[in-house]
Structures are given as C-alpha cells and as structure tokens.
Chain A
C-alpha cells in the first residue's frame, strides 16, 4: 500500500510557477531539495520543455558564474590593523 506522500507525488502535477523556486537547486544540484520535491520537479521537467530548457540555462549560467567566482590570491582575508584597532576601540567603549 502506498503512503500518502507517494500518492500526492503521483496525483499532483505542479504547474510551471510552482516548481520555479526549486529549479535553481535542481539545476545546480545543491542538495537542498527534499526527495519528494525532487520527484515533483523531475516529473514536471519530463513533460515541460520550457522549464526543462530553463533548467539547462540556469545550470550553464551557474557554472559560468562559479568559474569566474574564484577569489584571487590578493583578496585580503583579514582586516587591516588600523580597522581592527578601530573596532576594538568601539568594543572597549561598550564593554569596559
């Protein structure tokens, strides 16, 4: 006997609007989609060429953005001493 969730998955065909918030996660495989939602998205994409194309486009855009997202070595990972001193001064004003 199938449980209620499985029945819902079978019966509900989400329209394009309903799956939009999930499409990025599906396309980029970020792992946020719970299995039920993943099933719904897959089902919808199998029957909707528009959303399927959009998912492909989003995946390509995400890949391009990630390729250019590498922060170069010269990006400082620490605040300058002067800024750190300024923060400390403000911190001491409150906590001392």
Chain B
C-alpha cells in the first residue's frame, strides 16, 4: 500500500511523458521509416532508453523533447541501415502484408505530379538532410530546436537546410515539376 503511494508520482510522470511525446514522435518517425509497425518499435525503444538513462526530473521540457527526437532519429536511421543491409527484403515482406506504407500513406494516387516528384526527390536526399527538412518543414521546429536535436550549430542548420532545399528545387526543375 505504502509502495503504491510512493510510486504514484513516478507513474504519473511516466504517463505524462509518454502521453506528451508519443504522438509527435510516431508522426516524425513514420516520415522516416514509412512503416507504422517499425515506427511503433522505434518510439518504444526511444522511451525505454529515455527512462533508463535520464537522470534529471521527469517532466515535459525542451531538453527531454530534443533528447527524444535525437534518439528516435538515431533508432530510425539504425533501422533503415539494417533494412538496406537486408536488401529491402523486409520492405517487400511488409508490402505483402500490407504494412508498408506507400509514400505519403497510400495517397500517392491523389497527389499531384509535382507532389509525387517532390516525395521521390526528398527520399533521394541524405538521411541527415531529410531529417533537417522534416524537422523544419513538417515539424515546424526552429533552427535552435533543430540544433538541439541534431547537435549541429544553428548556422550549420541554416546552411544544410538551404542546400537541401536547393537540391530539391534543382531535382524538381530537372523533372519539370516546377
């Protein structure tokens, strides 16, 4: 009984942290790994790592947010690397099981030609460039927040984003999408 009372605040902290960040992290990771199931695993592992290693106070704050985005990204990239090593076998199996999400979640057929080409161009960027574009354009993070998540300096974030967006524009121009 006493144990339950002592643990209640800790469990409340657990619930608060998970509830605060699970949705945004799932959305972010799905954009990288393109699979709901994998995103669930990545986000689960990110929270497990957080609770294992976080020594500070457990309450939603920018530091925990940046930490989770960073770890989730690294876990997602690890997954993609494993997937590449398996020579996309996993993706094919997932497709057969209808788990694999077509670019932009099966809505490709309703996308304009430019949108489809932009999707393809985005996937051609390096994982680091994709990460920054996703954080800036989709997650609407500031340069400072992106700097905290990636460990890059704020001005580096600006330069990398500039070149990534320019690469996308050049690619879309080449394919007459813009």
Please list the residues of chain A having a beta carbon within 8 angstroms of any beta carbon in chain B: 20-25, 28, 30, 32, 54, 57-58, 60-62, 64-69, 71-72, 74-80, 83-84, 86-88, 90-91, 94-96
Residues of A contacting B115 with CB < 8 Å? 64, 67-68
Residues of A contacting B43 with CB < 8 Å? 79, 83
For the complex formed, measure the closest distance between the CB of B153 and the CB atoms of chain A, giving whole angstroms. Answer: 10
Please list the residues of chain B having a beta carbon within 8 angstroms of any beta carbon in chain A: 7, 10, 14, 18, 22-23, 26-27, 30, 36, 40-41, 43-44, 47-48, 51-52, 104-107, 111-112, 114-115, 118-119, 122, 133, 136-138, 140, 142-143, 155, 157-159, 161-163, 165-166, 168-169, 172-173, 177-178
Known: A57-B166, A62-B137, A65-B122. A79 touches B51 (CB 8 A): no
Known: A74-B105, A77-B23, A95-B7. A69 touches B166 (CB 8 A): no
In the complex the two chains form, what is the Cα distance from A56 to B59 in whole Å? Answer: 41
For the complex formed, measure the closest distance between the CB of A53 and the CB atoms of chain B, giving whole angstroms. Answer: 9
Check B158–A21 contact: CB distance below 8 A.
yes
Check B51–A90 contact: CB distance below 8 A.
yes
Name B's interface SS. Answer: helix
* CB-based A-B contact count at 8 angstroms: 128
Residues of A contacting B172 with CB < 8 Å? 61, 64
7 pairs of residues in contact across A and B, judged by CB atoms under 8 Å:
A25-B158, A61-B165, A64-B118, A68-B111, A71-B105, A77-B27, A95-B7
In the complex the two chains form, what is the Cα distance from A94 to B36 in whole Å? Answer: 28
Closest 4 CB pairs of A and B: A21-B158, A57-B169, A83-B44, A77-B23
Residues of B contacting A21 with CB < 8 Å? 143, 155, 157-159, 161-162
Known: A20-B158, A32-B143. A60 touches B169 (CB 8 A): yes
Known: A61-B165, A76-B26, A77-B23. A68 touches B137 (CB 8 A): no
